[in-house]
Amino acid sequence: MKTQKTIQLGNEWLTINDCHEVARQFKIVQLLPKVKINLEKSRAILSNYIDKHVPVYGISTQFGGQVNLTDEKYNISDHPLYLKALEERQGDLIRSHTAGLGDESPEDSVRAAMLVRARCLSLGYSGVSAEPIKQLVNFLNYRIHPIVPKYGSIGASGDLIPLSHIASALCGHDIEVKFKNKKIKVQEAMQQTGISPLKLKGREGLALINGTSFMTGISSLAIYDLNRLFNQILSAIAMSLEALGVMDSAYEPLVHELKNHPGATKVNNYLLCAWHGSKLIRKLDSERKEFLSSYGASANNHHQNTRPLQDYYSLRSIPQGFGPFWENLNRSVKWVEREINSVNDNPVIDPESGKIHHAANFMGYYITDTCDILKIDISQASTWMHAILANLVHPRKNFGLPANLVERPAVYSGFRPYQILSASIAVQNRKLAQSQQSFTIPTEGDNQDVNSLGTHAAFDLKEAVSNLELITAIIFLAASQALDLRGIENASNHSRKIRNIIRRECPKLTSDRSPSEEIKKMINIMRRQ
């Protein structure tokens, strides 16, 4: 493996950017030696409980709702047999929960989940040795990717079923992985890389699967993508509003200072910077003077302005609408990064006090809440951007631009199919905005009588972000076309620069061609920026 800057598992705070670099750019992960100090402390505490046969969940008890059940082989005095029985039980737990079905989860999501689980265990509150963490790191660094079906998690007791598929691979069970772009048995991948199957000790099976790492990995990548996309959304909107000649008054800084929300101010400032130097943004003072001049010259003192003194809501209230989105996105980064760096196992072993706590840090409600709120914001943004597109293509709303943004609308369809496509995508995002928390359902003998459904929410967020990227690409293409028709020489430097980048691969639409291919090109342009 090539030597390069590493992501280190130790006391360092992991970010969503770290997850992106490991999951998608294959950055090397390193387990720092100092991690072993806390690992040894918590492992010694657990061993002491085991030696004394003190009841500990998942060690001397059954799992889940059968916590009150025990078997005599877990309480026998013959210590070697006792330990062997514990190890067998951990393996059985993983095998029994390797129960997922559905489409395969994306490789980057699986990689992110492995990194996040390694981070959780490395904190030293799970009573595991360094071996499970090393195995996760080996799989990441050698790019061995367990096949993890999409369905199975309800986000209570964490992501038991998806993480069991990963744990089964670590243990060398009869499971498939992707290695060197091929689907093979994990044993074959281990042979090729010289990795030995993980031998579970103590509670290491439970520790590998009893947490929020899968939903957190998925959501971390979705939020990374959304964070990058957000400024592109604002740029596409800025270009569109400029092409429509919006009124400057709605974007007066004082107005948004008085609104008293940082998100609105942030969005407003972005738009003002994007419009700097534009000759297309209308000035309310100039419009008023023109109105008064026309009014005075009119014989009957009756005058109707060619354009209203206030724009449509979708053009006038971007800061008020997208400001909350910006604030929620910033909060979501904080929440997900806290979850990435959390102890989300059960039980929790305190190296300082020597106590073992039976708790519920495996609950994924912070991830669910984050994803649900962002899905609502994405739904609103999708609908809003569709409304902006309607302003661009409709002659009764675009103030002088040709119908469907094409110079011969009687001959060509122009951007009409783009708008139909935009509606289709926006509708899907509106459906995805349904809160997953509202679907919670009791299961597992009513032991898990509430559950977060965080993994469902994370997968929905991932899809919604991808859809929003498509809508943004459509808006960029439509805005560039509108600016060309309006007169690109009058546009701001910001808009001209973006339009010129787009035009290198997507020429001005003068006759009909496949929107699908144009949008794919635009997506690639956006991802390179």
Span 7-211 CATH architecture: Orthogonal Bundle (1.10)
**Whole-number pLDDT of residue 2:** 45
Q: What is the pLDDT of residues 232-241, one digit of tens each?
A: 999 999 999 9
**Whole-number pLDDT of residue 1:** 42
Span 227-528 CATH architecture: Up-down Bundle (1.20)
Q: Which candidate in 57, 251, 270, 366 is catalytic? A: 57
Average pLDDT over residues 293-321: 76
CA distance 232 to 270: 11
CA distance 407 to 402: 6
Q: Could you give the 3-state DSSP secondary structure of residue 100?
A: coil
Average pLDDT over residues 321-333: 98
Measured between alpha carbons, how far is residue 474 from residues 25, 351, 378, 480, 506 in Å? Answer: 28, 54, 16, 10, 12
Q: What is the pLDDT of residues 166-203, one digit of tens each?
A: 999 999 999 999 999 999 999 999 999 999 999 999 89
CA distance 474 to 134: 45
Q: Which two tokens stand for residue 82?
A: 């006792």
Q: Which residues pair with 185 in a beta bridge?
A: 176
CA distance 338 to 163: 20
Q: What is the pLDDT of residues 491-502, one digit of tens each?
A: 999 999 999 999
Average pLDDT over residues 375-400: 96
β-bridge pairing 29-31 and 101-104 = unpaired
Calculate ∠ Cα 67-452-429, nearest 5°.
155
CA distance 7 to 341: 14
Q: Identify whether the C-beta of residue 367 lies closer than 8 Å to the C-beta of residue 215.
A: yes
CA distance 148 to 74: 31
Q: Could you give the 3-state DSSP secondary structure of residue 11?
A: coil
H-helix or E-strand spanning residue 174: none
Q: Which two tokens stand for residue 361?
A: 């840090």
CA distance 7 to 14: 8
**Whole-number pLDDT of residue 86:** 75
**Whether residue 296 has pLDDT greater than 80:** no
Which residue has 């026309």 as its token pair? 294
Active site residue 57: yes
Q: What is the pLDDT of residues 471-524, one digit of tens each?
A: 999 999 999 999 999 999 999 999 999 999 999 999 999 999 999 999 999 999
User: How many percent of the chain have pLDDT more than 90?
Assistant: 78
Q: What are phi and psi of 103, to 5 degrees?
A: -60, 155
**Whole-number pLDDT of residue 56:** 85
Among 47-51, 75-79, 109-113, 254-258, the minimum mean pLDDT is found in 75-79
Q: Identify whether the C-beta of residue 508 lies closer than 8 Å to the C-beta of residue 479.
A: no
Instruction: Give how far the C-alpha of residue 491 lies from the chain's centroid of Cα atoms, to the nearest Å.
Output: 34
- Would you place residue 220 in the very low, low, confident or very high pLDDT band (cuts 50, 70, 90)? very high
Average pLDDT over residues 31-60: 88
Q: How many helices (H) and strands (E) does the chain have?
A: 19, 9
Which residue has 């979501």 as its token pair? 332
Name every residue whose Cβ is closer than 8 Å to that of residue 164 and which is 6 or more positions away in sequence: 93, 94, 95, 97, 98, 99, 100, 209
Long-range contacts of 76-81 (CB under 8 A, 24+ apart): 79/51
Q: Which residues pair with 182 in a beta bridge?
A: 179
Q: Identify whether the C-beta of residue 175 lies closer than 8 Å to the C-beta of residue 147.
A: yes
**Whether residue 58 has pLDDT greater than 80:** no
**Whether residue 206 has pLDDT greater than 90:** yes
Residue spans per domain, the chain: 7-211, 227-528
**Whether residue 204 has pLDDT greater than 50:** yes
Name every residue whose Cβ is closer than 8 Å to that of residue 269 and which is 6 or more positions away in sequence: 253
CA distance 378 to 425: 11
Q: Identify whether the C-beta of residue 238 lies closer than 8 Å to the C-beta of residue 333.
A: no
